[in-house]
Structure 1
Amino acid sequence: MQLKPQDFVVALKLVAWGDQRWTYARLAQELGLSASEAHACIKRGLQAGLLVQNHEALAPEVAALAVHEPAAIYRVARRKRVSGEDAPADNPVRPHARQLAEFALHGAKYAFAADKTPSTIGVPTSHSAPAFAGVFAPGSEDYVWPHPNGIMRGIGIEPLHPSVPFAAMQDARLYEMLALFDALRVGRARERGMAMERLQALIDPSAPKPLKGPVRG
């Protein structure tokens, strides 16, 4: 089993939803995936330990929907926090908060290294994303996910999956986490430190706060 970038996106989407009830059809629709892709992502996420089974959920829910749906067109256009143990029982799976946070902060940037492109039009990401206006110190370079309907010119970062710009526009919290992850991949030392702290708080809010030391770079 090899974890794919879209599996990580699906896990972050479930974090963004928190304790909302969801279906595979909705998951696929909001992420711009087919139903079969969404099921495959959940399966690999479970195998990798990024997700955990809700034992109270009905088993057929997990295996349902073998139907193929046409791929979506990728257009750009407060959750209540819960621990990994108290998600709604009728959701088939939930994020494993501690392990997902560990992977996001320390492993994913190596597993899914950033591929940069020349300056292009696209959707702002990393410290350039709208959620971080006034949070990160202004940088000399803006970063974008290349997209013909983008709103900013900057250095291109290939998104984790072609549907990421579309998916981010559907969900501000998912957008924030994806942009924070890009800050871990391409940001300067100060941006990486801030992104790590904020991403940890979003994925695993019950984790102990890290001790702060001097940040260089």
Structure 2
Amino acid sequence: MKSQDVVILLKLVSLEDNERNAGSSPQPRGLAGGEDPYSVRGLEAALGISKTEVSASLNRSIASGIAIKDRKSGRPKPSKHQLREFIVHGLKFVFPATPGAMQRGLPTAFAAPVLRESLHSAGSLISVWPYARGQEMGQSVEPLFKTVPEAAEKDERLYEYLALVDAVRLGNQREANLAAKLLTERLG
């Protein structure tokens, strides 16, 4: 498994959530009209991950059982339970995150909108994904994949999932537990 596999699986969950809430097929920003957002090309456009890497990632996820191919549509479909278990119990050991130098970027973990009001830190330092167009200054955290900030800007729900994942990767017991609880609620 590679770190971008988690990003791609969370994007698929985000697409399913958007589809369920909108009642129709989602059309994320950055896609040409008529492009299937679940296709390798659609995922490439949304995430900035090459078609070859997207395809290899989906194959790895299906082989590991963390995703399946939907029988009706043929689309890849993440197993939300398996994905949640991996994120909550294994991700911080496989893809650890450590705060780095101060940089401008996009807020993540406890500084992201999804968690900002839930937790109050004693310190003033926030965690950010390094990003040239970012407006916040904070300690840099290497994202799961280099294009995560751009993908998060295009998809608010994906941003929430990725920020919660970073909270699990970075957080102490209390913070990680809160992020895990929110992930469990969202992933069902």
- TM-score, length of structure 1 as denominator length: 0.73
1:10-49 correspondence runs (5 A):
10-18=8-16, 20=19, 22-49=38-65
Within the candidate set 124, 127, 136, 2:110 is matched to 127
Within-5 A mapping of 1:199-214: 199-203=183-187, 205=188
Partners of 2:99 and 2:127 within 8 A in 1? no
AA aligned opposite 1:9: V
Task: Give the aligned length.
Answer: 169
Aligned to 1:113: 96
Corresponding residue for residue 173 of structure 1: 157
| Equivalent in the alignment of 1:90 | 73
* Distance (whole Å) between structure 2 residues aligned to residue 174 and residue 100 of structure 1: 14
Across the aligned residues of Structure 1 and Structure 2, the Cα RMSD in angstroms comes to 1.5
In structure 2, do the counterparts of structure 1 residues 150 and 139 end up closer, same or farther at CA, with 3 Å as the change threshold? farther
Distance 1:129 1:139 in 2: 16
Change (3 A) 1:134 1:29: same
Counterpart in the other structure of 2:29: none
Structure 2: gaps spanning 5 or more residues = 20-24, 26-37
Tell me the equivalent position of 1:51. 67
Distance 2:105 2:156 in 1: 17
> How far off its partner does 1:40 sit?
0.9
Q: Secondary structure at the match of 1:116?
A: coil
Between the aligned partners of 1:91 and 1:192, the Cα distance in structure 2 is: 35
Instruction: Spell out structure 1 runs of 4+ moving beyond 3 A.
Output: none
1:146 & 1:192 partners in 2: Cα distance?
Answer: 22
- In structure 2, relative to structure 1, the CA distance for the partners of 1:147 and 1:139 (3 Å cut) is farther
- TM-score calculated relative to the size of structure 2: 0.84
| Counterpart residue number, 1:100 | 83
**Identity value in percent:** 36
Structure 2 Cα separation of the partners of residues 168 and 117 of structure 1: 20
Q: Secondary structure at the match of 2:140?
A: strand
Query: Which secondary structure state, in structure 1, belongs to the residue aligned with residue 145 of structure 2?
Result: coil
Larger radius of gyration: 1
Deviations, residues 91-113 of structure 1 (Å, cap 9, x unaligned): 42201111111001101111111
Taking the aligned partners of 2:95 and 2:85, their CA distance within structure 1 comes to 15
Counterpart secondary structure, 1:117: coil
Can you give the 5+ residue segments of structure 1 that lack an aligned partner in the other structure?
Answer: 57-88, 206-217
Counterpart CA distance in 2 for 1:202 and 1:172 is 14
Q: Which has the higher helix share?
A: 2
> How far apart, in 1, do the equivalents of 2:122 and 2:8 lie?
29
